[in-house]
Amino acid sequence: MNDSNFDYDLFVIGTGPGGEGAAMQCAKNGMRVGVAERYRQIGGGCTHWGTIPSKALRYAITSTMTALKNPALREMGITTTPTLEQLRRGTESIIGQQVTMRQSFYDRNNVPVYHGQARFVDDHSVSIDGDEPIRAKHFVIATGSRPFRPANVDFKHPRIFESDTVLGMKEKPTSMCVYGAGVIGVEYASMFRNLGIKVNLINTRGKLLEFLDDEIIDAISYHLRDQGVVIRHNETLESIEGGPDGVVLELKSGKRVKSDVLLWANGRSGNTDDLGLENLEVVANNRGQIQVDEHFQSVVPHIYAVGDVIGVPSLASAAYTQGRAAGMHILGQADGNLRLHDIPTGIYTSPEISSVGKTERELTESCIPYEVGQAQFKSLARAQITGQTTGMLKLLFHRDTLEILGVHCFGANASEIVHIGQAIMSQPGGQNTVTYFVETTFNYPTMAEAYRVAALNGLNRLF
């Protein structure tokens, strides 16, 4: 088939990080690219309902509450209780800045944005809201995900929220129940507790965030409880009843929890139900997710899928890299998937959590001889100066080769600090070594010097 039979070399459905990564990669390499977006503005769930608004609100809450707890302000007689509306106001301008910046990428690279719902007519054509079909040689599905909404939960009730709607909550409740203790549930539990809201966190598993290192799990569990969050493990929903004065959550264990509002944070579904997949051989699973190979190709090789719509890790950072990897594969530039084996976790609780590489549990199960190096933040001058002394950095390295196997960080700026370890871990040959950190001069005082402290601590354990 001649390329002139196609309107575009690549057509991307969705303008979140995954769609943007694929579109920009291919447009900058001379391909004719078009994108579709069903929301009135570009940016996807990341910009409008998830990452950006939630992290902006988190910052507004932590910085405001820290300031209000300052003894100097108290002495001046300054006491106030900010409303959710006041705290949220700043997030709207940040979203606006993100949209303007991202729109400029499409404009600069001559990528037209079609607004409307794209549906496949056949495996080389999509129609936007039923208009004349657009034909493309390749497609990238980057439609993202939404909170999973089980049929037995009444999300129309004004006191029952999920992660997309909770940011629009009008009044600050006195108490909240969070059902689901994955990353989103734990982040929101931490955020709302910082506002002084009583929080019940209901976990369907045996411990919080099981994919993390056990020591980090213990730390976040302790700090959430220390802040006053009530955590209940191994619980399963029986029913949720919304009333005029609150929500009653009944659990299969017989427990009943009543709170002003309930936040449902248990699972997400891929946005594939209105894509016209029935006209393709591509079949989404029961969570609306599309199966792909290591190049992000679906069962139809010229149709790729990236980001939340393919499931884990469901991170904006990973989606962008996946989009670029798919674009490079379409261009024939790369056959790998761009270091997607070492995606760091970034969990924006208070304090933050971030990690990359193996956990102690995984290394022990694999019988890999490792040693641990630790730096407690309370011993760092920078942490003492800023007053953010909660936390630690942990390096896991091979006893014999000194190769860094995992980096785990808990505390202020953890999601930034982890990248230093990630950079050394990715070095080839014998250059990935914990000795890098003891031979390197770090600025003083900084949080980054935790690497030197942790490396020395670990090397001192060797014999």
- Tell me the binding residues for NAD(+): 180-187, 267
Which residue blocks in 332-413 are alpha helix, DSSP H?
Answer: 360-365, 381-386
Nearest to 233 by CA among 164, 195, 186, 191: 186
Nearest to 347 by CA among 410, 263, 421, 420: 410
Positive/negative CA dihedral, 293, 295, 297, 301: negative
The beta strand positions in 252-314, using DSSP E, are: 256-259, 261-264, 268-270, 303-305
Cα separation values, 421 from 217, 395, 397, 440, Å: 20, 8, 11, 13
Largest CA distance in the chain: 77
Q: What single letter denotes the amino acid at residue 149? A: R
Assign 91 to helix, strand or coil.
helix
Cα separation values, 26 from 57, 70, 73, 77, 106, Å: 34, 51, 53, 58, 12
Rounded Cα distance, 430 and 427, in Å: 8
Q: What single letter denotes the amino acid at residue 250? A: E
DSSP 443: P
Cα atoms in the Cβ-side hemisphere of radius 13 Å centred on 245? 0
DSSP 157: S
Beta pairing, strands 246-251 & 134-141: unpaired
Rounded Cα distance, 407 and 449, in Å: 14
Kindly report each contact of residues 378-385 with a partner whose C-beta sits within 8 Å and lies 24 or more positions away, as own/partner.
379/453, 380/445, 380/447, 380/449, 380/450, 380/453, 381/444, 381/445, 382/445, 382/446, 382/447, 382/449, 383/411, 383/412, 383/447, 385/445
Contacts of 125 (CB under 8 A, 6+ apart): 133, 134, 135, 136
Which residue blocks in 354-449 are alpha helix, DSSP H?
Answer: 360-365, 381-386, 414-425, 435-439
In the annotated binding site, the residues are 55, 143-145, 180-187, 267, 308
CB 61 within 8 A of CB 69: no
Partners of 347 in beta bridges:
353
In the annotated binding site for FAD, the residues are 55, 143-145, 308
